[in-house]
Chain A
Amino acid sequence: MSQMNLPDAVEYALSLLGKDGGVVVGGNSASNNLRWANSALTTNGDAVDQTLAISAFVKLAGGVGTGMASGQVRNKNDVENLVAASKSAATSAGPAVDAMELVAGPLHDDFSDKPAELSVADITHVSNGLGEVLRQRSQEFFGFAEQSRDTTYVGTSAGTRMRYVENTSRFELCAKSLDRTRSAWSGQGGTSLRNVSVQVHSDEVLAKLEHQKNIINVEPGRHRVTLSPSAAADLMIYFLWSAAAREAAEGRNAFANPKGGTRIGEKLSDRRISLATDPSLAGMETFDHVVNLGSSALSSAFDTGMEIPRIQVITDGTLTALGSSRHAAKSAKLPFTPLTDNIEFKDQDGHGSLSELASRMNDGLLITCLWYIREVDPQNLLLTGLTRDGVYVVRDGQIAGAANNFRFNESPIEMLSRVTDAGDAFACLPREWADWFSRAKVAPVTITDFNLSSRSDAV
């Protein structure tokens, strides 16, 4: 091996940072993937990436400056170069606005352990299952499977030594009719591809394709819809990313109160809806202490090592918190609310599966996926995007057929006031944001007057 042992690299970098200190993060990421299209495997990959990233703190007249440097480290000289670059940048930067004392975070016993290795067993499990599915010739299959294992070493000059191992899996299966006029999708996030049954996903997409044989033309407009957990997750993840206390307190995001302060305390829904991030969320466990190298509206390098509790952003329909760094929280006169890398969205009065919820809707549209979601207006968090791979027409509680696709224009804040029913929260794969955010436990919801702005002829 030509690479330096990461725990040693972290310790050496910290020793070079000296008494001014800083944060050092070593990352080892191993991943395997398979991709298929037109019912045949196409590309694949087996990659191992290892980097060291440093946020140096330098005491200056008037405060503490921070600067970052990152790259691969093969030897001590590489570490020395990164430390020198980060300290130089910190000196040039001037005093950081968000400077706070680092806390002494946890000391993990396994800090010096080697990075967790990734076996091919997970990806092989999927390839074994794909063979039979791809041989079916009455439709075409497309999809992607990925298994990754990330080992993260975190050291700070305040004594924090943390080691995290995160397993992340992702499986997607799309089926299209041979004439490509019908298209259905199923996805599953999680920690291991070995939990994926390719056959179950195949059965699901084939059943959806059957529903699409009856095409029902539906005009754009405001419709009653039921959003699948995946579709609801994509909207609520954007809600979460935008829910920054700093910008709200400054009057410059959709969570600002025009009369001053933030909208915390405002009733967003009459239903007992909740939105939370929780490092202990069962099956979706993730970082339980802050790990950060830079500064942003939601986090700060100076917070590294701080404990991340469960944060209730919405409680019983009321906005109860906005994400913040310690500095942002202090400036906004709010509690420190660090968010972590998962989402739980549920309705205390919700119950049943997606299909049960759609049936209770009686008449409306069942939307399975959203796509190409972008912010249109930050003042009200208006988002646009498309429905994709299945909009089903529900009549008298039954799926009567499939509609065309639509462009939507909706705000995930404002739409909460129009939620009329919900199901149980399920683990799901957010179709749009899964590259960045795949740990989601989200309830399907029924919403009235959902703005389907125009028709999309895409399939």
Chain B
Amino acid sequence: MIQFAIPAPPSELAAVALETAAALGASVAQFRLAAHDSRGVSIRDGEVENIGADTSIAMSVRVVHGGAWGFAATTDLSAIGASDVANRAVSMAKLSTLVAVDEVVLAAEPRHGKQSWTLPIEIDAFSKSDDEVIHFLQEWNSRVAASSIVSHIESNIAMGRDRTFYADLIGNEITQQRDRISAALTAIHVSDSGFEDMRTCAPPAGRGWEYLTGTGWDWNSEIDQIPEYLAEKVKSPSVTPGAMDLVIDPTNLWLTIHESIGHATELDRALGYEANYAGTSFATIDKLGVFKYGSPIMNVTGDRIADHGLSTVGFDDEGVSAQRWDLIKDGILVGYQTDRSIASKIDMDRSNGCAFADSALHSPIQRMPNVSLQPGTDSTTTADLIADVQSGIYIVGDKSWSIDMQRFNFQFTGQRFHEIKNGKIVGQLKDVAYQSKTPDFWGAMRRIGGAQTYLLGGALNCGKGQPGQVAPVSHGCPSALFTGINVLNTRDESGA
């Protein structure tokens, strides 16, 4: 049973708000109440630097009135607050109609009625005491601190839980809960010739505490290897720039997918709705069904159903049930991500369920689902891909990222750059960045790993929209081999 711990049940507040909006002439009214719990601990050089918890809860009403959206929100969770927020939402819609309205038409969605959905977890991370969380993280710290190569350590554990209630004028009442957890440890080496660092590569996940104890990620092994990886990086040579073959691990490739495919296939961007802020997309609708996005082995799906996915839900934030669909098939652009109003812009019969707001204080907008590159159908391993490279780099872990406002030109770095010579890893390199253009990069994908190399990566901090909103999102992918990618030396780039 999902609980909100507020004086009035969400359904009562919703009834007041929806009746008020309807009485004021709203043709569409959507009520959302959302509670967000977060808790985190950070440890710096063995001492707790920050520990804290937050619960924020608010409610909002979004209406269509006179063909325009109107949105208002409050933390005053009373019947008076519900009535007031509905009134304010209608007022905002009326303000828009005085200027020039982008008329709202919603793609059809069946009524789902009363629904409840909870993301499955094994162990409730919020049930762990502060002492347990701190001691758990301290144990990681102490294992790494024993190494003489490590000058400083930073580490953290963060957990989050969303509890949401959605209701609308057609009789939907949807209650949902989902959890997420993340952790990271960074070891830093300082010497009179500078400093280097090495961070764990474990992604955040839609899981409970079990994630930190070995379900879904081998933390013990990774943490034990951090000093060794750092020591090797410290003594590694600086890369010689130029075009080269890259085997990219899922711990790095997820972020390239996020930036160059995830955002590029957002239909609102392609149509210009993010043009002032996040940008547009080169993947415009005239390219749908014909544009060669990448090599023929490239198959990418969008979904809101992946196990442990950070974007996984039962229903989106305007009552659309979760789905899975193709974005890129055999290298060709075949789909987009949509919410209901954006889907109607290109006459789609139905939204694929990507409406999301990061709190009840923000209006839902079209946000990214889990966007994943599908693995190959054979049993190709990462070692097979490395063995296929005469001279190149195996890149592991994400670090710096940047892409242009149409999702063409990007540049990424990583945690580790293992040099490959004659099909074998011979050591690490440093000062590496790879830079490419989206269709060129994906067109250069020559081989992909099989299902056993597949990993669900992701981020908690995907930004979009004005006012700015953040969203958690996952990206699954296998290891993959790319040929002839431009590698930069970041020291050369700095002019140092």
Contact = CB atoms under 8 A, between A and B. Distances in A.
Interface of A: 1-3, 31-51, 53, 65-72, 74, 85-86, 88-97, 120, 123-124, 127, 130-131, 134-135, 140, 142-144, 146, 172-174, 176, 180, 183, 185, 250-252, 256, 258-260, 293-296, 371-380, 382, 384-386, 388, 405, 407, 409-411, 414, 435, 449, 451, 453-459
14 contacts: A41-B100, A45-B362, A53-B54, A71-B55, A127-B96, A143-B276, A144-B276, A146-B466, A259-B192, A373-B402, A377-B494, A385-B402, A411-B494, A454-B486
Contacts of B51: 66-68, 89-90, 92-93
B273 interface: yes
A90 B49 CA distance: 11
Contacts of B491: 377, 380
A376 B404 contact: no
- The interface centre, meaning the residue of B70, B193, B467 with most chain A CB atoms within 10 A of its CB, is B467
Interface in B139-162: 151-152
Given A39-B100, A140-B272, A46 B88 contact: yes
Interface in B343-381: 361-363, 365
Nearest to A293: B52
Contacts of A409: 411, 488, 490, 493-494
Nearest to A41: B96
Contacts of A41: 68, 96, 99-102
Interface stretch (B227-235, B387-395, B430-438): B430-438
B495 to A, nearest CB: 7
A144 B77 CA distance: 28
A46 to B, nearest CB: 4
Q: Which 10 A-B pairs have the closest CB atoms?
A: A68-B52, A458-B406, A92-B130, A2-B78, A40-B102, A409-B493, A458-B404, A456-B409, A93-B48, A142-B276
Interface in B22-62: 44, 47-58, 60
A68 B50 contact: yes
B92 interface: yes
Interface residues of B, number: 96
Contacts of A39: 100
A29 B191 CA distance: 46
A43 B76 CA distance: 22
B277 interface: yes
A385 to B, nearest CB: 6
A25 to B, nearest CB: 13
A74 B277 contact: no
A89 B52 contact: yes
B7 A74 contact: yes
B325 interface: no
Contacts of B437: 457
A120 B431 CA distance: 51
Contacts of B92: 32, 44-46
Contact of A72 (B75, B273, B413): B75
Interface string B401-415: 111111111010100
B69 interface: yes
Contacts of B73: 45-49
Given A124-B95, A376-B413, A458-B404, A72 B100 contact: no
Contacts of A378: 195, 197
Nearest to A375: B400
A252 B190 contact: yes
Nearest to A129: B99
B404 A94 contact: no
A386 B409 contact: yes
A117 to B, nearest CB: 13
A45 B280 CA distance: 22
Nearest to B406: A458
Given A41-B101, A451-B494, 11 more contacts: A37-B102, A38-B272, A38-B273, A44-B71, A44-B95, A44-B363, A71-B54, A93-B130, A251-B195, A252-B195, A294-B50
Nearest to B268: A37
Contacts of B400: 374-376, 384
B402 A2 contact: no
Interface string B278-289: 011010000000
Contacts of B467: 31, 33, 45, 146, 435
- The interface centre, meaning the residue of A47, A51, A134, A435 with most chain B CB atoms within 10 A of its CB, is A47
B91 interface: yes
Interface in B421-442: 431, 433, 435, 437
B402 A374 contact: yes
A372 B403 contact: yes
Interface in B56-98: 56-58, 60, 68-78, 80-81, 88-89, 91-93, 95-96, 98
- The interface centre, meaning the residue of A31, A39, A371 with most chain B CB atoms within 10 A of its CB, is A371
Contacts of A94: 47-48, 134
Contact of B490 (A47, A382, A459): A382
A3 B404 contact: no
A380 B496 CA distance: 8
A275 B408 CA distance: 34
A340 to B, nearest CB: 21
Contacts of B127: none
B129 interface: yes
B131 interface: yes
B169 interface: no
A407 B402 contact: yes
B170 interface: no
B290 interface: no
B193 A376 contact: no
A384 B488 CA distance: 12
A459 B408 CA distance: 10
Contacts of B53: 68-70, 85, 89
B495 A2 contact: no
A72 B56 contact: yes
Nearest to A369: B405
- The interface centre, meaning the residue of A86, A252, A385 with most chain B CB atoms within 10 A of its CB, is A252
Interface string B112-152: 00000000000000000111001000000000000000011
B194 interface: yes
A258 B194 contact: yes
B48 A49 contact: no
Contacts of A375: 400
A252 B152 contact: yes
A171 to B, nearest CB: 11
A295 to B, nearest CB: 5
Nearest to A131: B99
- The interface centre, meaning the residue of A65, A296, A453 with most chain B CB atoms within 10 A of its CB, is A453
Contacts of B408: 456-458
A23 B213 CA distance: 35
B188 interface: yes
Contacts of B107: none
